[in-house]
Structure 1
Amino acid sequence: MRRAPWIRLLLWHASAAIPVLGAAAAFYGPALERTGGAWPAPLDDVYIHFGFARAAALGHPFSWIPENGYSSGGTSLTYPLALAPGYLLGFRGAWLGLFAALLACAALLDLCRSLRRLLEPRGGPGAASSRWVGWVGWLAPLFVVAVPLLDWSWFSGMEVALLGAVLGRALVAVRRAELAPPARRPAEQLRAGLLAALLVATRPEAIALAAPLAVAVAHAAGSLGAAASLARASLPTALLLGAQAAANRAFTGEWGAAGAVRKLLLSNPYPTPLEKAVEVIKNLAALRVQALESALGGPWLSLVLPLLGAVAALDRRSRRVAVPLLLGAYGSLLLVALNATARYQNLRYAAPSLAMLLLAAALGAEALARRGRLAAGVAAALAVAALAAPSAGFARQIDHFARASANIAGQHVEVARRIAARAPRRVLLGDAGAIPYLSGIPAIDGLGLGGYRGMPFARASVHGVPAVVELIERLDPAERPDVFALYPSWWGGLADVFGRRVDAVKIDDNVMCAADEKVIYEADWSALAPPGERRAGVIDEVDIADLMDERAHGYAFPSPRGGWVIGAVLPGGGDGAGGGGGAGGGGAPRFDAGRLIPEGREQSFTIDAAAAIARGPAVLALRTDGGGPIALGVAALRDAGGEARVEVPERPAGRWSEIRVPLRDVAPGDRIRIRSLLGTFRSFHVWLLRP
């Protein structure tokens, strides 16, 4: 006797809840023991999302800390908005993680429901074709939680589970657009397009899936026409990306998000294209071996998932969903390989690819089972192999989740507690998660993910620590951080030069933090110049390695393999090399950052077009430090006199020196070029003076 549909549905939901909630308990239980009852978070980045969620709940969406202004460093636009209601409901502090866990479980159950809908026979549960495939729908929840490495990310408190729910609904929307009658198909196509855009808003590398989904919708357009259908399916994503890029540009001066600027290998100006390609290949190799091989059961068993996915891609009924899933899985992995941190943080960036492969494999099992009894048996064997093969990794991943959570609680959360007790004006940090969120202290993220009033901290951190100090020098002294919470090994030239160690938190059994010890420093910015300080007689100046000043002057440095940022704190120079004159700053030690210009390379800049000067002679004053003899070639590109060679003798160590070069004829808008003809030029500052 066939069960009533509502009974079958109830049983299915119960069978879905058991593996999802069981997996959640398996990960959270040991982690809670390790953290002493504090809600576990295995990544500091979880608290970055919590910070954005708190700001959104307080009426400041897309801000890390409300008073810091707009930030593009949240990586997920939607996840903080999904967490914000939890904050408003009273899930405060670390306990917002409990709300995130409830949200993750609900999202995974929603993904299971979506997958079940995709696996249903076209004619419904009672169709003849369901005879051999009904069991696949009951296995849908197991496909969702079968891979321990993916489960680690599902329950981490990051946006991956929400991405899974949106992914499932986007796939169902594509299927509905495919099957809808012509009168309803445009609306279903637009729905699919909106959900594809939501995918990209949740994780940017999901563009690798959103694009082929739009093509799949257009492929199923039928009488509506492919072009109009493609527009409905792709325009929402295009508008989202355009709006996001425009907002980033308007508020930060960058088209890209801060996370992309900070983490993408393409953003690093120093390596050659070949060196970047080698890093991408290393990332791909690590992701393939660790995420697509070891995590799925080993070299041979790991092939079962893509094999089932290929079956789905070849099947006429499932290919419009399966092909985008496979393209999205491998395409997003390729995009992730451009991330300098792709191999770290327990391979969390590979989680979306694993989810797409699992869904494609489930579709493949259904497509194969539809071929009859024998094929259904083969499908069952392959499905069991695919689901069982990764199970050996559960113990290791659960243990790693617990240890990582203990690391974050023992270091970042403890530092937040100590910072809160000190009650500083503002803290400078390199981990933008637990410390500012739990302490409630205003902060500047030296790596730039948090954002600070549109200043380019993310790009400065890529160029080098002294470039970060240059941005801090721009701040009013009352606005500068008076406390640091930093890893000394990450922040040489800042922590040791401008900080005095006052406290530290060291952990054992470190599997997640960047170092065993995070140090708290009191700041001393006395070597920085007051904001707006201007040298007497100057008509224009370029503060080298101050990225805002460089941008304003169209400054160009030799890249790649040149222009490396350096910094020093030295006393003023008296008579400068190459013609005498003061180096500025008197005799007091003064910080300045600069760049290395290798022999045979050049730097150039444009005189500020707004400088209120007439065309005429000027003196170019170049700050450098001690070193051996060098030779420079200096030219004002509009000056018919050509390049002037300047021989610079050896300069004394331990102090600033100045090189003076007369220019015959310059005006606002002129381009000045400085070439290193002999030796490496250590270029720190350029002033343009009237003689």
Structure 2
Amino acid sequence: MRRAPWIRLLLWHASAAIPVLGAAAAFYGPALERTGGAWPAPLDDVYIHFGFARAAALGHPFSWIPGNGYSSGGTSLIYPLALAPGYLLGFRGAWLGLFAALLACAALLDLCRSLRRLLEPRGGAGAASSRWVAWVAPLFVVAVPLLDWSWFSGMEVALLGAVLGRALVAVRRAELAPPARRPAEQLRAGLLAALLVATRPEAIALAAPLAVAVAHAAGSLGAAASLARASLPTALLLGAHAAANRALTGEWGAAGAVRKLLLSNPYPTPLEKAVEVIKNLAALRVQALESALGGPWLSLVLPALGAVAALDRRSRRVAVPLLLGAYGSLLLVALNATARYQNLRYAAPSLAMLLLAAALGAEALARRGRLAAGVAAALAVAALAAPSGGFARQIDHFARASANIAGQHVEVARRLAARARQTGAPRRVLLGDAGAIPYLSGIPAIDGLGLGGYRGMPFARASVHGVPAVVELIERLDPAERPDVFALYPSWWGGLADVFGRRVDAVKIDDNVICAADEKVIYEADWSALAPPGERRAGVIDEVDIADLVDERAHGYAFPSPRGGWVIGAVLPGGGDGAGGDGAGGDGAPRFDAGRLIPEGREQSFTVGAAAAIARGPAVLALRTDGGGPIALGVAALRDAGGEARVEVPERPAGRWFEIRVPLRDVAPGDRIRIRSLLGTFRSFHVWLLRP
């Protein structure tokens, strides 16, 4: 006797809940034991999302910390907004992770529902022989332990899965809808594709093929109009996001792209960047698309089933985009300098797309008769069983990583919060992309890597150029606004922690599998070597503070790149005229400055500011450098027909600043000044234009 439809549906939901909740329990249970009952988070980035969620709940959307201003550094635009209700409902502190876990399980069940809708037979021959695929669909969702690690990590991956499933269903509905309803369904598919990109930016590799698939199924509506409805929401989202970034941060790209993409690094050559991309691709292929799927041969089952779906007339309009999206997003991820780390979490969307394509392939094959259904079942069993050997390792890694985050980042937050209660300090902490510390301690922070954002200042770009460039931005802050405590990895912050900090505490963990180093050190800050904000040297017409990215941008400063212009920094007493005339402080006290290395045969240049207090005429160019061997410079005001002046600079004593003065006979605002290194490497720290 056939069961009633509602009974079949109830049984299906129960059969879907069992593997999803079972996998969740398998990961969270051991992790809870390792953390001593604190809700586990295997990545500190989880707490960055929590910080954005708390700020949104408090009325500061798209801010990491209220008061820091807009930040483009969140890896997901919408995930913090999905977490914010949990904060308002009382899931505070680390227990927001419990809400994230509930959200992840709900999202995965929603993905299973979407996959079931895609796999349900539409009647015709073979419908009976393929019906079983919809019942095993939830197993495809949780079959790969490496992907499960990310599903349950507290990151945005599970939400991406839910949006992905709904986007695929929308594409299918747009394909099958009658002409009168098809425009609305196409627009719905376009909106969900845009939501995909808002969840993870590399999902653009899937959103674009989905839009083409919608246009391909346009029928009588016309391909151009259909493509517009399916693609314009994503285009508008990307345009609005880029415009907001530009207006509020000065960068078109998001802070994560500026900080992490290999293309943003100004120092390597294109060939060197290409080599790193190839290394990333090789690691992702071997570790995520091969080892994680059962080894070199068994890992081919998933793409083979996906290819079957791509060749099938019924499923190809969602299967082809899934395959293109899987490999396209992996290619985009390979541009990320951190792609090989954090347990390959950036490969998780690609794995999810491959699994969905494989499920579609199993259904397409099973639909072709009993014999084909047997082959489909065998391939499905192979695809689902092959990765299972990785469950024990991934569950153990999840637990150990969660213990690492609790033992290091959470402990640092606890100690800083205790110090603040006892002494009223720190008032602001400097850290490097560490979310748990400000979120759990409640202490305002500046992220030296720039992902947290701080009042539109280019910390992300500065951190790529070098630590001294980050210090230059801190120098711009009012002394009362500068961080009074650091919580940093010393190996990441040479030239800052050791120069401007005094070690007062440290948290060291054993069995480190996820943190950047086993010890995070707490320092008290001493910024006495920084110049007071707004300090201006007497007689200055214009100046360029080299390696201060704000000043460089204002003057159109150009340095030799690639393989040149590396940022350096030093704290030295004044030199030059011996009375602080070089801007190092009239009392001879040591003063910090950052600069750049200009290799022999290369040049730097800048434009005299339009607001410079100068009429056309002679001026003196003063160049700050430090001690070293003899060098020769070629200096020219490019509008001046007098050509380039050669300046010989003798050997200089080490341990202090030194000033080089070059007379210019004709300079005006808007002129381009070029400084070439003719002999030796020029260590260029500061440029002033002075009245003669």
TM range (shorter): over 0.9
Residue pair 1:600, 1:676 contacting (<8 A) in 2 also: yes
| Residue of structure 1 equivalent to 2:639 | 638
Residue pair 2:170, 2:185 contacting (<8 A) in 1 also: yes
Deviation at 1:66, TM superposition (A): 1.2
Deviation at 1:133, TM superposition (A): 5.5
Deviation at 1:584, TM superposition (A): 5.5
| Residue of structure 1 equivalent to 2:532 | 530
Residue pair 2:624, 2:659 contacting (<8 A) in 1 also: yes
Give the structure-1-normalised TM-score. Answer: 0.98
Distance 2:99 2:520 in 1: 28
Residue pair 2:15, 2:135 contacting (<8 A) in 1 also: no
Deviation at 1:432, TM superposition (A): 2.8
| Residue of structure 1 equivalent to 2:68 | 68
Deviates more, 1:111-120 or 1:607-616: 607-616
Deviation at 1:296, TM superposition (A): 0.1
Deviation at 1:122, TM superposition (A): 1.5
Distance 1:116 1:131 in 2: 10
Query: Any idea what the Cα deviations from partners look like across 1:542-600, whole Å, max 9, x if unmatched?
Result: 000000000000000000000000000000004389x9977665411000000000000
Residue pair 2:267, 2:561 contacting (<8 A) in 1 also: yes
Residue pair 1:56, 1:62 contacting (<8 A) in 2 also: yes
**What SS class does the counterpart of residue 605 from structure 1 fall into?**
strand
Distance 2:306 2:645 in 1: 66
Deviation at 1:239, TM superposition (A): 0.1
Deviation at 1:613, TM superposition (A): 1.7
Residue pair 1:576, 1:583 contacting (<8 A) in 2 also: no
Residue pair 2:261, 2:336 contacting (<8 A) in 1 also: yes
Distance 2:493 2:123 in 1: 63
**What SS class does the counterpart of residue 130 from structure 1 fall into?**
helix
Deviates more, 1:419-428 or 1:312-321: 419-428
Distance 1:162 1:411 in 2: 27
Distance 2:672 2:60 in 1: 42
**What SS class does the counterpart of residue 398 from structure 2 fall into?**
helix
Deviation at 1:130, TM superposition (A): 5.0
Residue pair 1:576, 1:582 contacting (<8 A) in 2 also: no
Distance 1:129 1:574 in 2: 88
**What SS class does the counterpart of residue 446 from structure 2 fall into?**
strand
**What SS class does the counterpart of residue 647 from structure 1 fall into?**
strand
**What SS class does the counterpart of residue 480 from structure 2 fall into?**
coil
Q: Is 1:206 the counterpart of 2:208 in the alignment?
A: no
Residue pair 2:582, 2:658 contacting (<8 A) in 1 also: no
Deviation at 1:524, TM superposition (A): 0.2
Distance 1:507 1:127 in 2: 56
Distance 1:325 1:70, change over 3 A: same
Distance 1:271 1:91 in 2: 45
Distance 1:388 1:253 in 2: 50
**What SS class does the counterpart of residue 324 from structure 1 fall into?**
helix
Query: Any idea what the Cα deviations from partners look like across 1:174-208, whole Å, max 9, x if unmatched?
Result: 00000000000000000000000000000000000
Residue pair 1:132, 1:372 contacting (<8 A) in 2 also: no
Residue pair 1:582, 1:658 contacting (<8 A) in 2 also: no
Distance 2:478 2:625 in 1: 26
Deviation at 1:131, TM superposition (A): 6.1
Distance 1:312 1:501, change over 3 A: same
Distance 1:670 1:360, change over 3 A: same
Query: Any idea what the Cα deviations from partners look like across 1:417-456, whole Å, max 9, x if unmatched?
Result: 0111122110000133100000000100000000000000
Distance 2:593 2:503 in 1: 23
Give the structure-2-normalised TM-score. Answer: 0.98
Distance 1:541 1:59, change over 3 A: same
Distance 1:296 1:686, change over 3 A: same
Distance 1:582 1:218, change over 3 A: closer
Deviation at 1:124, TM superposition (A): 9.3
Q: Is 1:490 the counterpart of 2:492 in the alignment?
A: yes
Deviation at 1:125, TM superposition (A): 12
Counting aligned pairs with the same residue, the percent is 98
Deviation at 1:678, TM superposition (A): 0.2
Deviation at 1:380, TM superposition (A): 0.2
Residue pair 1:427, 1:444 contacting (<8 A) in 2 also: yes
Residue pair 2:312, 2:364 contacting (<8 A) in 1 also: yes
Q: Is 1:520 the counterpart of 2:522 in the alignment?
A: yes
Query: Any idea what the Cα deviations from partners look like across 1:589-638, whole Å, max 9, x if unmatched?
Result: 00000000000000000000111321000000000000000000000000
Distance 1:508 1:616, change over 3 A: same
| Residue of structure 2 equivalent to 1:299 | 296
Residue pair 2:362, 2:376 contacting (<8 A) in 1 also: yes
Residue pair 1:427, 1:483 contacting (<8 A) in 2 also: yes
Distance 2:630 2:618 in 1: 27
Equivalenced residue count is: 687
Residue pair 2:35, 2:406 contacting (<8 A) in 1 also: yes
Residue pair 1:502, 1:522 contacting (<8 A) in 2 also: yes
Query: Any idea what the Cα deviations from partners look like across 1:527-548, whole Å, max 9, x if unmatched?
Result: 0000000000001000000000
Residue pair 1:149, 1:393 contacting (<8 A) in 2 also: yes
Residue pair 1:262, 1:448 contacting (<8 A) in 2 also: yes
Distance 1:646 1:156, change over 3 A: same
Q: State the Cα RMSD in Å.
A: 1.5
Residue pair 1:481, 1:523 contacting (<8 A) in 2 also: yes
Query: Any idea what the Cα deviations from partners look like across 1:326-357, whole Å, max 9, x if unmatched?
Result: 00000000000000000000000000000000
Distance 1:130 1:102 in 2: 32
Residue pair 2:284, 2:344 contacting (<8 A) in 1 also: yes
Distance 1:485 1:159 in 2: 26
**What SS class does the counterpart of residue 66 from structure 1 fall into?**
coil
Residue pair 1:528, 1:590 contacting (<8 A) in 2 also: yes
Distance 1:376 1:129, change over 3 A: closer
Distance 1:391 1:306 in 2: 18
Residue pair 1:432, 1:449 contacting (<8 A) in 2 also: no
Residue pair 2:582, 2:624 contacting (<8 A) in 1 also: no
Residue pair 2:115, 2:134 contacting (<8 A) in 1 also: no
Residue pair 1:189, 1:232 contacting (<8 A) in 2 also: yes
Distance 1:493 1:360, change over 3 A: same
**What SS class does the counterpart of residue 67 from structure 1 fall into?**
coil
Deviation at 1:123, TM superposition (A): 3.1
Residue pair 1:607, 1:669 contacting (<8 A) in 2 also: yes
Query: Any idea what the Cα deviations from partners look like across 1:243-286, whole Å, max 9, x if unmatched?
Result: 00000000000000000000000000000000000000000000
Residue pair 1:132, 1:370 contacting (<8 A) in 2 also: no
Unmatched segments (≥5 aa) in structure 1:
none
Distance 2:189 2:275 in 1: 37
Deviates more, 1:179-188 or 1:123-132: 123-132
**What SS class does the counterpart of residue 68 from structure 1 fall into?**
coil
Residue pair 2:433, 2:452 contacting (<8 A) in 1 also: no
Distance 1:580 1:159, change over 3 A: closer
Residue pair 1:573, 1:584 contacting (<8 A) in 2 also: no
Residue pair 2:408, 2:508 contacting (<8 A) in 1 also: yes
Distance 1:9 1:403, change over 3 A: same
Q: 1:563 aligns with which of 562, 565, 572?
A: 565
Residue pair 1:622, 1:683 contacting (<8 A) in 2 also: yes
Distance 2:128 2:390 in 1: 39
